[in-house]
A and B are shown apart, each in its own frame.
Chain A
Amino acid sequence: MEALAISKNIEKQLKTLTGAEAVIQSLIEEGTEILFGYPGGAIMPIYDALYKHQDELKHVLTRHEQGAIHAAQGFARVSDKPGVVFATSGPGATNLITGLADAKIDSTPLVCITGQVQSSLLGTDAFQETDVISLSMPVTKWNYQVTKAEEIPAAIAKAFYIAKSGRPGPVLIDITKDAQFASLEYSYRKCEGFRSYNPSPAIDINKIEEAAELINKAKKPYILFGQGVILSKAEKEFRSFVEKTGIPAAWTLLGLSALPTDHPLNVGMLGMHGNYGPNKLTNECDVLIAVGMRFDDRVTGNLSRYARQAKVIHLEIDPAEINKNVHADVPVLGDARKSLSLLMEYCHANEHTEWLERFETLNRLEYNKVIQDELHPEQEGLTMGEVIRRVNELTDGDAIVVTDVGQHQMVACRYARFKQPKSNITSGGLGTMGFCLPAALGAKLGAPEREVVGIIGDGGFQMTLQELGTVFQTQAAVKIIILNNQFLGMVRQWQQLFFDKRYSSTELVNPDFVSITKGFGIEASSVSERENLDGALKAMFDHNGPYLLEVNVEKECNVFPMVPSGASVDEIRLE
Chain B
Amino acid sequence: MKKIYTIVIFTENKIGLLNRVTSLFTQRHINIESLTTSESEYEGIHRFTVVIEEEKERTLKIVRQIEKQVEVLKAFCFADDEVVSSEIALYKIKVDESTDREALQSVISQHQAHFKEQIEDFIIIEKTGLKLETHKLFKALQPYGIQGFVRSGRVALSKTISTFSKHLKDLEEHSKEIISVNQ
Q: A: which residues have CB within 8 A of B? A: 133-134, 137-138, 141-143, 145, 162, 192-198, 318-320, 322-324
Contact = CB atoms under 8 A, between A and B. Distances in A.
Contacts of A145: 15-16
Chain B contact residues: over half helix, strand or loop, or mixed?
helix
Nearest to B65: A320
Nearest to B26: A138
Interface string B59-102: 00100110110111100000000000000000000000000000
Contacts of B32: none
Interface of B: 11-12, 15-16, 19-20, 23-24, 27, 61, 64-65, 67-68, 70-73, 168, 171-172, 174-175, 178-179, 182-183
Nearest to B27: A138
Given A319-B67, A320-B67, A195 B19 contact: no
Nearest to B16: A133
B171 to A, nearest CB: 4
A239 B182 CA distance: 29
B75 to A, nearest CB: 11
Given A195-B175, A196-B171, A320-B65, A162 B70 contact: yes
Given A134-B19, A141-B70, A320-B68, A196 B12 contact: yes
A137 B70 CA distance: 12
Contacts of A137: 16, 19-20, 23
A197 B174 CA distance: 10
Contacts of B72: 196
Contacts of A320: 61, 64-65, 67-68
Contacts of B68: 318-320
21 contacts: A133-B16, A137-B19, A137-B23, A138-B27, A142-B70, A162-B70, A192-B178, A192-B182, A192-B183, A193-B174, A194-B175, A195-B175, A196-B70, A196-B72, A196-B73, A196-B171, A197-B70, A319-B67, A320-B61, A324-B61, A324-B64
A319 B65 CA distance: 8
A170 B100 CA distance: 64
Contacts of B171: 195-196, 198
B70 A193 contact: no
A306 to B, nearest CB: 16
Contacts of B71: 142, 196-197
Contacts of B70: 141-142, 162, 196-197
A510 B171 CA distance: 57
Contacts of A318: 68
